[in-house]
Amino acid sequence: MESIPSNFAWFNLPNLPMPVKVLFSGYLLAIGLGLCMAGLQIMQTHGMADGKPGLSLDDIVYSYYGSRSGSKLESKLNGSMKGMSTPEVRLGIIKWVRNGAPETEWEPQFKGIFNQYCVQCHGPGSGVADFSQYEEVKKVAKIDEGASIQALIRSSHIHLFGISFIFFFVGFIFSFAVGVPKWLKISAIAIPFAFLIVDVFSWWLTRWNPSFAWLTLIGGFGYSIAATIMWFMSMYQMWVLSRNGKIYGNAWEADLK
């Protein structure tokens, strides 16, 4: 039977009890997969705002500032929704929108088209615009002024609450790391929160002025890199560094010095 180190000498990632390692690793694996899925979702929504694959400054501008030269519906049909219908249908809707989306043409011609191609996602109770109703379609057929204040408030509070919890637990796990200078550990834990605030704040600034779109890219890139570094270092110390059998001592006690 192995002796238990005194003075919480096991209180670090390499020497944690196996149940705790499994708990931490399960969380990190689930969160890592979730963040990858979030990245793919961003590429499929914001990343196609300009109609081209990949996330760019133009995508950020179209998503938050809008395309003031056209309607939001037209921007979507030329961007992230481009592949959701045939080219003929898409061009027909765009022409109708540019003509002012007259209600006289809705029932005989366009209601059926929207029901066929759009209502599956944009229907009653979907949480987004209900494209089975002309009044809802008319709203997005106006000049595209980007994200609405209501949408920004909703997205901001979801991101600030939800992602902060993710970073809290990732940072908490990383705080047990050994061999990391105190200043570097503090920086790695703090950086994701700082860049998250920059990211969310940049949405509001970009809606006001498209020149701030670069802040969104910097914010997202910054917290992604910091979280990724903590993720890999935590997994490495729990499952690779631990194999040498060394007792590393209380990680938190070392950071008090």
State yes or no: pLDDT of 187 exceeds 90: yes
Half-sphere exposure for 127 (CA within 13 Å, toward CB): 2
Using CB atoms within 10 A of its CB, is residue 3 exposed (0-12), middle (13-18) or buried (19+)?
A: exposed
Cα–Cα dist 61/79, whole Å: 13
State yes or no: pLDDT of 47 exceeds 70: no
State yes or no: pLDDT of 72 exceeds 60: yes
| pTM for this predicted structure | 0.75
Residue 82 pLDDT level (bands cut at 50, 70, 90)? confident
Task: State pLDDT tens for residues 212-235.
Answer: 999 999 999 999 999 999 999 999
Domain range summary for the chain, segments of one domain joined by +: 18-46+147-255, 70-140
State yes or no: pLDDT of 2 exceeds 70: no
Cα–Cα dist 17/12, whole Å: 10
In this predicted structure, what is the pLDDT of residue 1?
41
What percent of the chain lies above the pLDDT cut of 70? 94
Cβ contacts of 231-235, under 8 Å, gap ≥ 24: 231/28, 231/31, 231/32, 231/170, 233/174, 233/177, 233/180, 234/13, 234/24, 234/28, 234/170, 234/173, 234/174, 234/176, 234/177, 235/25, 235/28
